[in-house]
Chain A
């Protein structure tokens, strides 16, 4: 099922009576979610991603714009008539019901000709339980399950009524690190197997990048960039997106373009074409540095962290916007630990320029 969001907006009335301005949680959201894909809504907390999710599932009504599932306009439909499955951040499993009763609950709500016979309901419940691999836990109560198991039950409960769209609200945030890795693979597998259009919300960029077909980066209610994870990483549209994606985060320098040369501080790091002289922010991904004793970028070496396959060099530079610069280089490259300075050349395709005023991307040629 394809989902189309058209100029979707949501404003909450202001609590403060003296300030009349509404709080705009989502502003003018335009996006078409292709059928059968896994979409990650990504952004810092308070950016409106959960609001967007609640608008799609119908728990909130938009103040502007339309929502279509396929060709149906569902904007004015209540959640129960939209055919969505929702998994809550803390699962919201009914604590007094067993796993089986929890999974059966949505089926027992069906009325009229949609209603299944008891045997069919049970069969369906066992089918989804098998899909999320909780078949042997059916008689337990939620309090007797681990976090990961509860998560699976919540997904099973959302899937059992065969929703047109599956929505996951921060599905992994209550799990520990190991389980998080495991569960996100699991979500990916279930999504592939069921081919159900899935939207999930997260503030963890690594999580979103690793399993999404498409990521949507949001900031204060506005969509900043939509695209395949690798594309967004390789070509961020502005400084915010560049900073938000990637671990370790991108290194930002204050620099300028002067006569076809890019300067970071006093160091002339790159010859570039197509940009008039101006002040810029220079973003360089950690993997964009190449250790070179004759390189133009000279940093003060702080320490070297050996991580096996890679070596992470922590250094500083007067023109850096952050106190430290982190660069990741191959472990085989020789690093002189004793020297006070370290010199780099940079890979042009890992260097991004942003306007000082608008923080938008400035494209250049080498």
Chain B
């Protein structure tokens, strides 16, 4: 019995080593750093142990701004992108002609180079010496005044960030949901048809519950992804996100480590732990809700 146990551990060793080294150790380390006040990574010294790092971070207006931005981003993009993906994939599933073409078109953003995407968004939104951007042309055409989406008011910048995030995450969701929809046994639809079920009721009472595990998966990953947003904001507004009021929590952590105001691993660790707690809480709530509403 013992020998067999040893063998088992031997098989697990590569995974255990890998996970331990790259996941568990850093996690524990971050947790320790977050309580070491004034830790200096060059001299490996700190002044004392306590909760000052948390107190500092939670009172830092930049961090609070980042939390606010992140929450707005999450609250807007998660439901909108999931809902939109559901609509698109339901549409895709009900057409026959050109289905493959549309599927490809919707999947394009997923395989498009980030730089190319940035360029497109610049053409759409950026105000230059020569033009105000395509969106502003449209606004002007309908009689509105130009808005500076990149350096302008807060809501305009937030709109662009949300728009960008939704556009980036949509293809993957559409892909997952289209295949989930296609995997529903068509006999259920036949049964519903014989019973005279309206299209809307069929969708709400049969299709949605059947693909609910996939929707739940997408919502969980969308929440986590949106909480971890950073690179999108950098792509749109440059590296000085604090100045642009567009920082996110991950952006704040990065700035604390390496940014202009960098060199504060303790603050960064505390912020990271706060993020972990937020994500963990949301995921737990999600799981609890899903247990009530998802079968299988």
Task: Output the residue of B195, B196, B295 with the most chain A CB within 10 A.
Answer: B195
Instruction: Assess whether B210 is interfacial by the CB under 8 Å rule.
Output: yes
Residues of A240-255 whose CB lies within 8 A of B: none
Alpha-carbon gap, A27 to B21, bound state (A): 71
Which of these, A88, A141, A157, contacts B295 with CB under 8 Å? Answer: A141
Question: Are the CB atoms of B190 and A109 closer together than 8 Å?
Answer: no
**Cβ contacts A293-328/B at 8 Å (1 or 0 each):** 000000000000000000000000000000000000
Alpha-carbon gap, A197 to B194, bound state (A): 17
Q: How close is B170's CB to chain A, nearest CB, in angstroms?
A: 27
Alpha-carbon gap, A84 to B191, bound state (A): 11
Question: Are the CB atoms of B190 and A92 closer together than 8 Å?
Answer: yes
**Cβ contacts B223-251/A at 8 Å (1 or 0 each):** 00000000000000000000000000000
User: Residue on A with the closest CB to B208?
Assistant: A96
Q: Chain A residues with Cβ under 8 A from B287's Cβ?
A: none
Which of these, B185, B188, B193, contacts A79 with CB under 8 Å? Answer: B193
Alpha-carbon gap, A90 to B186, bound state (A): 12
A-B contact count, CB below 8 Å? 56
Q: Chain B residues with Cβ under 8 A from A80's Cβ?
A: 193-197
A81-B196, A95-B295, A109-B196 are contacts. A88–B201 as well, Cβ < 8 Å?
no
Q: Chain A residues with Cβ under 8 A from B295's Cβ?
A: 95-96, 141
Q: How close is A156's CB to chain B, nearest CB, in angstroms?
A: 13
Instruction: Assess whether B38 is interfacial by the CB under 8 Å rule.
Output: no
Question: Are the CB atoms of B185 and A92 closer together than 8 Å?
Answer: yes
Q: How close is A99's CB to chain B, nearest CB, in angstroms?
A: 14
Alpha-carbon gap, A110 to B195, bound state (A): 9
Q: Chain B residues with Cβ under 8 A from A85's Cβ?
A: 194
Q: Chain A residues with Cβ under 8 A from B185's Cβ?
A: 92
Which of these, A84, A94, A96, A141, contacts B194 with CB under 8 Å? Answer: A84
Query: Could you give 27 example pairs across A and B, Cβ below 8 Å?
Result: A57-B194, A59-B190, A59-B193, A59-B194, A78-B193, A79-B194, A79-B196, A80-B194, A80-B195, A80-B196, A84-B194, A86-B190, A88-B187, A88-B190, A90-B187, A92-B185, A92-B187, A92-B188, A94-B191, A94-B205, A94-B206, A94-B209, A95-B210, A96-B295, A106-B195, A109-B195, A109-B197
